[in-house]
A and B are shown apart, each in its own frame.
Chain A
């Protein structure tokens, strides 16, 4: 066969997020969807029926029959390391869903496998690519905010998410040592780490509910570029996901739920007007962003997980041009490092990695 004109991409895992991945991958001209794999027949059949795609029962069947160039690992995080290493050693590029791994040791083993195989390893840090995060990053890079001095990241739990049942019939997320909190933490961790750089000192306080399960986590983090705080809250309402960048000139607040960005500035006006003008300024910015989002929704451009689509677009443009992925394996490792420090301070042990690769 001749040199492929398109990148063949396959999914490992046919759960809920696989449908989102597939939807975005099918929009990319440089991608040929190669198939998906899951040991669960019901999940496989549902995926195949919806996407008219070939599905396979185990990893090696997927590799032999679909012969992908890239595989997205969408299985529970405890399996990420062993599966990613197996895939890299089989000669394919790998994207793993967040978190890359539970421990730095696992992440290091994955990195070593990537180096040995000469294949790319990347992580789906999709929120880093959300439109509002891209706007915030662009503002920071342009110098419009001045020098970055602090970053606050707040992650809440969606309605019902904190009460997911655990156990045999529950979701794997709820069975993690830190409960659902363990699953919520990766997004704010990589966002915070991405802005403040290499992590130094970390101070963590936590509070558990009456059932003994962790409900609230607050961390103060000393980063290479700025100080940061990270809050994960299961109890607070309403559900919020926010990132605030404090600069020496301006402050930007990204609301990742409502997809709005507000920039606060110093208004050189008399004190009385200064009490009113910032509110009007914020209100106008919110109104403008909301109208813009409404138009985008009507045009069919506003979808769930918008950052994922933009991340994949950047990733496959890079791979098609022979360039490295926009999220490096080292970026993934840095996110894991912060997570590991959080759980270490909170006194929670990392889940045991699953090493079998016989079935994804």
Chain B
């Protein structure tokens, strides 16, 4: 078997490469010009998914295409997101079908789902987010790309869509919450203690990718890939235990923050300006949902092999210095 991986230099892409190599799959990586892959045995094709010739060359002669490339920046115009996430996905689908590949695994996002109320259970049959326009270019374009991939499947392409949860794992400092701020040594969390975090250890997702590539019954379907729905309060305890850090945390009143976002949004709209954070963004990001992965278990035979506690322990071990790693991003940069 031979697989092309797009986005091979990304956090998930690197894990997928390692998983495929471990399973004896020949791997070709599509990487942007000037970038390299520091893994032995990987064939590198330079170019990106916005380049027809590169995608044609990348898909030629492979059995599987794992499409993990995406623009994940938190700023930029819609055109920039559309060019990579929407047109790029269309291009990958088109070229993969033309190359007669056996499987296309598209990496989507949990952000495609609507969360109509707190505590709702989300299956793959849940409706798409209907307010994506208020959530910035990334969410909007990932939703469009998800539709593009499933549309290709309806037209006969051997597509499987995976919607992984909040990715974490070795090499990347995990977030304390979806939104948090460091203030005077204290962490302010924009969540309730009962809010659930849909955690997904990066190697568990790579396992799901391999299973999706091998499973004929998965074609044409989407799968939610979440290890565990962890209560925010429990997650903070696990995080502290794994990192060895000690800090105090405070849960911000979500309703008050949402109201402030609403006031800012309406006030700025009157001035014909756009608020960096909208009411819907805050509500969407703080509304708790339980992600049901039973379809992935039933059809793909997928089960997370790494618990959240162990995953966090390995993650912090990889970072070596608990104080190191990237700092917690600002509010506007993580709500999407």
Contact A64:B128 (CB < 8 A) given known A44-B79, A54-B78, A57-B87: no
A67 and B147 contact, CB distance less than 8 A: yes
Grouping DSSP codes into helix (H, G, I), strand (E, B) and loop, the B interface class, with mixed when no group exceeds half, is helix
Contact of B77 among A33, A48, A57 (CB under 8 A): A48
Residue of B nearest to A55 (CB): B78
B274 and A52 contact, CB distance less than 8 A: yes
Contact A64:B90 (CB < 8 A) given known A52-B274, A53-B133, A54-B141: yes
CA distance A61 to B147 in the complex (A): 10
Residue of A nearest to B151 (CB): A64
Q: Could you tell me the distance in whole angstroms from the C-beta of A1 to the nearest C-beta in chain B?
A: 6
B147 and A54 contact, CB distance less than 8 A: no
Q: Could you tell me the distance in whole angstroms from the C-beta of A72 to the nearest C-beta in chain B?
A: 17
B148 and A6 contact, CB distance less than 8 A: no
B144 and A65 contact, CB distance less than 8 A: yes
Q: Could you tell me the distance in whole angstroms from the C-beta of A329 to the nearest C-beta in chain B?
A: 27
Tell me whether B55 is interfacial, beta carbon within 8 Å.
no
- Contacting A at CB under 8 A, from B108-132, are 125-128, 130, 132
Tell me whether B145 is interfacial, beta carbon within 8 Å.
yes
Tell me whether A51 is interfacial, beta carbon within 8 Å.
yes
B87 and A6 contact, CB distance less than 8 A: no
Contact A56:B86 (CB < 8 A) given known A41-B79, A48-B78, A64-B148: yes
CA distance A105 to B148 in the complex (A): 35
Report A259-292 CB contacts with B as 1/0, cut-off 8 Å: 0000000000000000000000000000000000
Tell me whether B134 is interfacial, beta carbon within 8 Å.
yes
Most buried by B among A4, A52, A57: A52
CA distance A64 to B90 in the complex (A): 9
B144 and A54 contact, CB distance less than 8 A: yes
Residue of B nearest to A5 (CB): B127
Q: Could you tell me the distance in whole angstroms from the C-beta of A345 to the nearest C-beta in chain B?
A: 47
B79 and A1 contact, CB distance less than 8 A: no
CA distance A305 to B134 in the complex (A): 26
A32 and B130 contact, CB distance less than 8 A: yes
Residue of B nearest to A47 (CB): B78
Tell me whether A2 is interfacial, beta carbon within 8 Å.
yes
A1 and B126 contact, CB distance less than 8 A: yes
Contact of B147 among A4, A33, A51, A65 (CB under 8 A): A65
A1 and B128 contact, CB distance less than 8 A: yes
Counting residue pairs across A and B whose Cβ atoms lie within 8 Å, the total is 65
CA distance A53 to B147 in the complex (A): 16
Most buried by B among A48, A54, A57, A63: A54
Report A148-191 CB contacts with B as 1/0, cut-off 8 Å: 00000000000000000000000000000000000000000000
B79 and A65 contact, CB distance less than 8 A: no
CA distance A5 to B127 in the complex (A): 9
Tell me whether A66 is interfacial, beta carbon within 8 Å.
yes
Question: Which A residues lie within 8 Å of B125 (CB)?
Answer: 1-2
Tell me whether B82 is interfacial, beta carbon within 8 Å.
yes
B133 and A54 contact, CB distance less than 8 A: yes
A45 and B151 contact, CB distance less than 8 A: no
B127 and A1 contact, CB distance less than 8 A: yes
Tell me whether B140 is interfacial, beta carbon within 8 Å.
yes
Residue of A nearest to B85 (CB): A65
Contact A61:B86 (CB < 8 A) given known A1-B127, A48-B78, A66-B147: yes
Question: Which A residues lie within 8 Å of B79 (CB)?
Answer: 41, 44-45, 48, 55
CA distance A32 to B128 in the complex (A): 11
- Contacting A at CB under 8 A, from B8-55, are none
Question: Which B residues lie within 8 Å of A55 (CB)?
Answer: 78-79, 82
Question: Which B residues lie within 8 Å of A57 (CB)?
Answer: 82, 87
Report B135-172 CB contacts with A as 1/0, cut-off 8 Å: 00000110011011001100000000000000000000
Question: Which B residues lie within 8 Å of A64 (CB)?
Answer: 90, 147-148, 151-152
Question: Which B residues lie within 8 Å of A35 (CB)?
Answer: 144
- Contacting A at CB under 8 A, from B280-327, are none
Question: Which B residues lie within 8 Å of A45 (CB)?
Answer: 77-79
Question: Which B residues lie within 8 Å of A54 (CB)?
Answer: 78, 82, 86, 132-133, 140-141, 144
- Contacting A at CB under 8 A, from B85-112, are 86-87, 90
- Contacting B at CB under 8 A, from A1-45, are 1-2, 4-6, 32-33, 35, 41, 44-45
Q: Could you tell me the distance in whole angstroms from the C-beta of A5 to the nearest C-beta in chain B?
A: 7
- Contacting B at CB under 8 A, from A49-108, are 49, 51-57, 61, 63-67
Q: Could you tell me the distance in whole angstroms from the C-beta of A65 to the nearest C-beta in chain B?
A: 4
Question: Which A residues lie within 8 Å of B134 (CB)?
Answer: 52
Contact of B133 among A41, A51, A65 (CB under 8 A): A51
For this complex, 30 residue pairs linking A to B, each with C-beta atoms less than 8 Å apart, are A1-B126, A2-B125, A4-B127, A5-B127, A33-B133, A44-B79, A45-B77, A48-B79, A49-B77, A51-B133, A52-B134, A53-B78, A54-B78, A54-B82, A54-B140, A54-B144, A55-B78, A55-B82, A56-B82, A56-B86, A57-B82, A61-B90, A63-B151, A64-B90, A64-B147, A65-B86, A65-B145, A65-B151, A66-B147, A67-B151
- A residues within 8 Å of B by Cβ? 1-2, 4-6, 32-33, 35, 41, 44-45, 48-49, 51-57, 61, 63-67
Contacts beyond the supplied A54-B82, A54-B133, A65-B147: 10 A-B pairs with Cβ under 8 Å:
A2-B125, A2-B127, A32-B130, A35-B144, A53-B133, A55-B82, A61-B87, A64-B152, A65-B145, A66-B144
